[in-house]
Structure 1
Amino acid sequence: MAFWRNAAGVNLPGAISRTNYHGINGFDSRCAVYGNALAVLTEMKFPDAKGNKTLEFPEGYKTRKINEQP
């Protein structure tokens, strides 16, 4: 919700109090990047399906591998 308020405050001020999270282009992608940044840059844990904060990355996150060339 905090990320929505910040994004809406910049892009769609009239939607800050909404909870349906529609109306900002790319909001889902921005959320995913924000969650990934939190996981990499902090020691914050994310909630699992039961709501327990045990996950290193947001649920459903798939790591990408860097293709290294010799």
Structure 2
Amino acid sequence: MEETIRIMCPNLLCRKVLGVPSSARGKTVRCKGCSTAIRIPEKATDPADAAAKPAANAKKPA
């Protein structure tokens, strides 16, 4: 069974939560509530991975 991605409409007057299939990654879908175009991210980012990697432009200790 295909995984469903839940994403919130960015339109502040709508904010509807949409369920889209994982096959929609990298594509643009329309909100059923307000017809706003929403780009589905290619890959979900893992917050633990982001915290473990230091920022590229961070200052190095002297």
Higher relative contact order (CA 8 A, sep 6+): 2
TM-score by length of 1: 0.27
Instruction: Indicate the structure with greater strand content.
Output: 2
TM-score by length of 2: 0.29
